[in-house]
Amino acid sequence: MSERVLVKQLQAREDGPVSVSGWVETVRDQKKVQFVILRDETGAVQLVNPATRPDPEATDQDAAALALTALISALSTGTFLTVTGELKHDERVKLGGVEIKLASLDIAAAALPETPIAADSGLDKRMDWRFLDLRQRRNNLIFRVQTTLEHAMRTYWIERDYIEVHSPKLMASASESNAELFSLDYFGEQTAYLAQSPQFFKQMAQSAGFGKIFEIGDVYRADPSFTSRHATEFTSIDAEISWIESHEDVATMQEELLQFAIQAVKDKHGAEIEELFGLEIAVPRIPFPRIPLAEAREIVKARGYDIPRTDGDLDPEGERQISAHVLETYGHEFVFITDYHPEIRAFYHMRDPETGLTKSYDLLYKGVEITTGAQREHRVDVLEVQAREKGLDPAHLAFYFDFFRYGAPPHGGFGMGLARLLMLLLGESSIREVTFLFRGPTRLAP
């Protein structure tokens, strides 16, 4: 068997014998000549075969040629196969300027003739058949972009001596509130909960003297949310660092990280993203704009939108409005909203003794919140008071408070959903489009 050549390598290769493997995208079975478009993970190429049709009047037809023609006529879309043939450069061939004249065709696994989805199938139907949906070039690109994005972030951190951790997702206690938790029987002895975030454990790493850590791992939310921005299970990107002076140190790291990672995506996939998603990746300049929440609300109001929420926070339309303002005023797609009131923040956010506001931020990207970041309260006495204020049961949090009883550095960090970032980066309308296999309240398969 000759060695497999990737489709993307064909253009640079000299004419001659070649073997490629992939799946059938289309078949044009004309009377005199047959064309197959074969796609692999790197591109698509045209295969051509002069048809040899059974002729009752001919006496010396080539049996192999007849068989090959019949095999191609019977090919169904999606069939995976290996072909050998003669590579020929021909500038008239639109698809890459090359074609392969078929010599042999070896089917690895034939597809059923009826494909259950089409290019214009609805999202839910496509998710039912996600493995077919993912064969589209555009969807394949999403996950190559994700790979580059993640690897760039990890590289940024590792070059700066961060430690990568994998915190357990099975927990004995609820991490923040019981409302959104999946629970399960743990060896008939205990109830275990699925982690909503690695929050407590990434803070534990600070008490453990790890200094700077990151984690990219799955988390679980049992709230029945059906928006285009929420998932029941998603990959969370988390970082936590010691010896900060305020949340500003976290924000500075995060904006550098995002600039670095988006630059890497643009460098590697910019042209292809422009072709398939019709958008140019904008690498954000740093620093990102920062706007205190109260000021952001004033700006949104001045733009004619009265936020109906009474708790002082922004709502989704308010987030879109302030982002529009930032884009118009500063030409920037990101904005940090700062100075949130403790009432609308988690109990462990540190408070500024002068203003009484939390040392925290939300990061908005193209009008959508992608991150909450904060300095954490590391003084256990203050932390306990703040937990009680929120009505949390100190008994459930005892293990967490312990992390701060034996010394702890000032620290802070952020959490960010991978799919949400990717959705916005590629201008997609739903995280379902950018998740390998989405999980939602009514979606647990395949």
Which is nearer to a copy of itself, 175 or 338 (by Cβ)? Answer: 175
Nearer to a copy of itself, 17 or 409 (CB): 409
Least CB distance from residue 89 to a copy of itself, whole Å?
A: 24
In whole angstroms, what is the distance from residue 359 CA to residue 248 CA?
Answer: 8
| Smallest separation, CB 315 to a copy of itself (Å) | 25
Q: Which residues are annotated as a binding site?
A: 176, 221, 369, 372, 376, 417-420
Say how far apart CA 405 and CA 326 lie, in whole Å. Answer: 42
Phi first, then psi, for residue 6 (nearest 5°) are -75, 150
CA distances from 381 to 104, 202, 284, 312, 402 (A): 76, 20, 40, 28, 11
Q: How far is the CB of 446 from a copy of itself (least distance, A)?
A: 5
Q: Give the three-state DSSP class for 291.
A: strand
Annotated binding site for ATP: 369, 417-420
Binding residues for L-aspartate: 176, 221, 372, 376
Q: Please answer whether residues 208 and 171 qualify as being in contact, where contact means their C-beta atoms are separated by less than 8 angstroms.
A: no
Minimum Å gap between C-beta 332 and a copy of itself is: 28
**DSSP reduced 3-state for 289:** coil
User: In the bound complex, what is the minimum distance in angstroms from residue 103's beta carbon to a copy of itself?
Assistant: 18
Q: Find out whether 257 and 153 touch, Cβ atoms under 8 Å.
A: yes
**By C-beta, is 56 or 188 nearer to a copy of itself?**
188
Side-chain-facing half-sphere of 138: CA atoms under 13 Å = 13
Considering the complex, state which of residue 316 and residue 399 has its C-beta at the smaller distance from a copy of itself: 399
Token pair listed for 28: 């044009």
Cβ 274 to a copy of itself, closest distance in Å?
20
Nearer of residues 235 and 254 to a copy of itself, judged by Cβ: 235
What is the smallest separation between the CB atom of 94 and a copy of itself, expressed in angstroms?
Answer: 21
CA distance 342 to 348: 10
Angle between the N-to-C axes of helices 247-277 and 137-159, in degrees from 0 to 180, rounded to the nearest 10: 150
Residue recorded with tokens 């099975």:
170
The span from the CA of 341 to the CA of 406, in Å, is 29
Grouping H, G, I as helix, E, B as strand and the rest as coil, residue 135 is coil
Of 169 and 420, nearer to a copy of itself (C-beta) is 169
By C-beta, is 350 or 364 nearer to a copy of itself?
350
**C-beta separation of 314 from 297 below 8 A:** yes
Shortest distance in whole angstroms from residue 343 CB to a copy of itself: 25
Are 404 and 387 in contact by the 8 Å Cβ rule? The answer is no
- 107 phi, psi to nearest 5 deg: -80, 125
Our CB check for a copy of itself shows the closer of 38 and 326 to be 38
